[in-house]
Amino acid sequence: MPTESDLSVSALAPGKNDADLAPTPDPAAQPHTRRPRRTPLTWLRGGGLSNLTFALPLLIIFGTFSWWPIMRAIVMAFQHTNLVNPATFVGWENFQFVLTDPLLPTAIKNTLYFALLALLFGYPIPLVAAVLMSEVKKLKGFFSVLAYLPVVVPPVIAVLLWKFFYDGSDTGVFNTMLGWIGLGPYPWLQSQTMAMPSLVLQATWAGAGATVIIYLAALISVPPELYDAADVDGAGVWRKVWHVTMPQLRGILFITLILQIIGTAQVFLEPYLFTSGGPANSTTTILLMIYNYAFGRSVGGDYGAATALSVLLAIFLAIFSAVYFKLTNSWSKS
Amino acid sequence: MTATRSLDAPVTNSDAGLTLDRSQLAGQRRAAKRRIKSGQPEGTDRGILSDSDRRRPGIRVGMGAVNVVLFVVLVIACVGPIFLLFKFAITPTQDILRTPMELFPNGIAWDNVTKAWNDVHVSRYFLNTIIMAGGSWATQIIVATSGGYMLSVLKPRYAKYINGAVMATLFVPGVVLLVPLYLTVLNPPLLSSSLINSFWAVWLPAGASAFNIVLMTRFFDNLPREIFEAARVDGAGPFRLFWSIVLPMSKPILGVVSVFAIIAAWKDFLWPMLVLKDPNIQPLSVRLPNLEATTDLGVFLAALAISTIIPIALFLVFQRLFLSGAGLGGAVKG
Same domain, A47 and A72: yes
Q: What is the pLDDT of residue B137?
A: 94
Query: Over 60: is that where the pLDDT of A146 sits?
Result: yes
Query: Over 70: is that where the pLDDT of B205 sits?
Result: yes
Query: Over 70: is that where the pLDDT of B29 sits?
Result: no
Same domain, A10 and A158: no
Q: What is the pLDDT of residue B332?
A: 41
**Span A196-201, mean pLDDT?**
90
Same domain, A112 and A132: yes
pLDDT digits (tens, 9 = 90+) for B268-303: 899 999 999 888 899 999 999 988 888 888 889 999
Closest-approach residue (CA) in chain A for B45: A224
Measured between CB atoms, does B208 come within 8 Å of chain A? yes
Query: Over 80: is that where the pLDDT of A31 sits?
Result: no
Q: What is the pLDDT of residue A6?
A: 42
Of A18-22, A90-94, B81-85, the least confident: A18-22
Cβ <8 Å between A70 and B184: no
**Span B124-144, mean pLDDT?**
93
Measured between CB atoms, does B80 come within 8 Å of chain A? no
How far apart are the CA of A32 and the nearest CA of chain B, in angstroms? Answer: 24
Same domain, A184 and A276: yes
Cβ <8 Å between A231 and B50: yes
Q: What is the pLDDT of residue B255?
A: 87
pLDDT digits (tens, 9 = 90+) for B153-174: 888 888 889 999 999 888 888 8
How far apart are the CA of A126 and the nearest CA of chain B, in angstroms? Answer: 12
- Separation between Cα atoms, residue A32 and residue A54, nearest integer Å: 34
Choose the final residue of a domain: A89, A116, A135. Answer: A89
**Span A28-51, mean pLDDT?**
68
Cβ <8 Å between A149 and B184: no
% of chain A at pLDDT higher than 90? 19
Interface confidence, given as ipTM, is: 0.80
Query: Over 80: is that where the pLDDT of B23 sits?
Result: no
Q: What is the pLDDT of residue B150?
A: 92
- Compare CB distances from B177 to A70, A148, A291 and report the shortest one's residue: A70
Query: Over 50: is that where the pLDDT of A22 sits?
Result: no
Which residues are B85's β-sheet partners? none
Query: Over 90: is that where the pLDDT of A135 sits?
Result: no
Closest-approach residue (CA) in chain A for B42: A228
- Separation between Cα atoms, residue A6 and residue B30, nearest integer Å: 32
Tell me, what amino acid is at B266? Answer: W
Under 8 Å between Cβ of A200 and A114: yes
Query: Over 80: is that where the pLDDT of B6 sits?
Result: no
Q: What is the pLDDT of residue A27?
A: 47
pLDDT band at B331 (very low <50, low <70, confident <90, very high): very low
How far apart are the CA of B88 and the nearest CA of chain A, in angstroms? Answer: 10
Cβ <8 Å between A145 and B84: no
Q: What is the pLDDT of residue A36?
A: 62
Instruction: Please list every residue in chain B whose beta carbon sits closer than 8 Å to the beta carbon of residue A222.
Output: 47
Question: For B6-39, b where at least 16 C-beta lie within 10 A, e where not — what string?
Answer: ebbebbbeeebbbbbebeebeeebeeebeeeeee
User: Which residues span the domain enclosing A290?
Assistant: 97-333
**Span A11-34, mean pLDDT?**
46
Measured between CB atoms, does B86 come within 8 Å of chain A? no
Measured between CB atoms, does B68 come within 8 Å of chain A? no
Choose the final residue of a domain: A46, A70, A89. Answer: A89
Q: What is the pLDDT of residue B297?
A: 86
Q: B212: closest CA among B149, B157, B134, B131?
A: B149
pLDDT band at A42 (very low <50, low <70, confident <90, very high): confident
How far apart are the CA of B145 and the nearest CA of chain A, in angstroms? Answer: 9
Query: Over 80: is that where the pLDDT of B236 sits?
Result: yes
Q: What is the pLDDT of residue B145?
A: 94
Cβ <8 Å between B269 and A156: yes
pLDDT digits (tens, 9 = 90+) for A278-330: 788 888 899 998 998 888 876 667 888 889 999 999 999 999 999 998 888 87
Cβ <8 Å between B326 and A210: yes
How far apart are the CA of B260 and the nearest CA of chain A, in angstroms? Answer: 10
Of A125-134, B88-97, B215-224, B243-252, the least confident: B88-97
Same domain, A67 and A174: no
State pTM to two decimals.
0.80
Q: What is the pLDDT of residue B139?
A: 94
Same domain, A85 and A133: no
Question: Which has the higher per-residue pLDDT, B60 or A316?
Answer: A316
Cβ <8 Å between A290 and B178: yes
- Separation between Cα atoms, residue A36 and residue A59, nearest integer Å: 29
Under 8 Å between Cβ of A19 and A38: yes
- Compare CB distances from B66 to A76, A136, A332 and report the shortest one's residue: A136
Q: What is the mean pLDDT of chain A?
A: 82
Q: What is the DSSP string of A78-116?
A: TEE--SSSPPEE-TTHHHHHHHT-THHHHHHHHHHHHHH
Query: Over 60: is that where the pLDDT of A26 sits?
Result: no
Report the CATH number at residue A180.
1.10.3720.10
Cβ <8 Å between A171 and B98: yes
Locate the domains of chain B by residue range: 51-110, 122-294
Q: What is the pLDDT of residue A25?
A: 47
Q: For chain A, how many structural domains are there in total?
A: 2
Cβ <8 Å between A254 and B11: yes
Q: What is the pLDDT of residue A32?
A: 53
Q: What is the pLDDT of residue A86?
A: 76
**Span B16-25, mean pLDDT?**
44
pLDDT digits (tens, 9 = 90+) for A150-159: 988 999 999 9
Q: What is the pLDDT of residue B136?
A: 94
- Compare CB distances from B304 to A133, A160, A227 and report the shortest one's residue: A160
Instruction: Please list every residue in chain B whose beta carbon sits closer than 8 Å to the beta carbon of residue A133.
Output: 70
Question: For A255-287, b where at least 16 C-beta lie within 10 A, e where not — what string?
Answer: bbebbbbbebbbbbbbbbbbbebebeebbbbbb
Q: A231: closest CA among B14, B47, B62?
A: B47
Q: What is the pLDDT of residue B9?
A: 35
Q: What is the pLDDT of residue A333?
A: 61
Instruction: Please list every residue in chain B whose beta carbon sits closer than 8 Å to the beta carbon of residue A165.
Output: 81, 84
Q: Can you say how many angstroms the Cα of residue B6 is from the centroid of all Cα atoms in its chain?
A: 25
Q: What is the pLDDT of residue B13?
A: 36
Under 8 Å between Cβ of A270 and A202: yes
Cβ <8 Å between B308 and A133: no
Cβ <8 Å between B289 and A173: no
Under 8 Å between Cβ of B327 and A144: no
The arrangement of secondary structure in B122-294, i.e. its CATH architecture, is Orthogonal Bundle (1.10)
- Separation between Cα atoms, residue B195 and residue B184, nearest integer Å: 9
Question: Which has the higher per-residue pLDDT, B24 or A36?
Answer: A36
Measured between CB atoms, does B235 come within 8 Å of chain A? no
Question: Which has the higher per-residue pLDDT, A37 or A308?
Answer: A308
**Span B120-143, mean pLDDT?**
92
Same domain, A205 and A256: yes
**Span A1-14, mean pLDDT?**
41
User: CA torsion angle for A239, A245, A246, A248 (degrees, to 10)?
Assistant: 140
pLDDT band at B65 (very low <50, low <70, confident <90, very high): confident
Measured between CB atoms, does B60 come within 8 Å of chain A? no
**Span B147-154, mean pLDDT?**
91
pLDDT band at B333 (very low <50, low <70, confident <90, very high): very low
Same domain, A46 and A135: no
How far apart are the CA of A193 and the nearest CA of chain B, in angstroms? Answer: 24
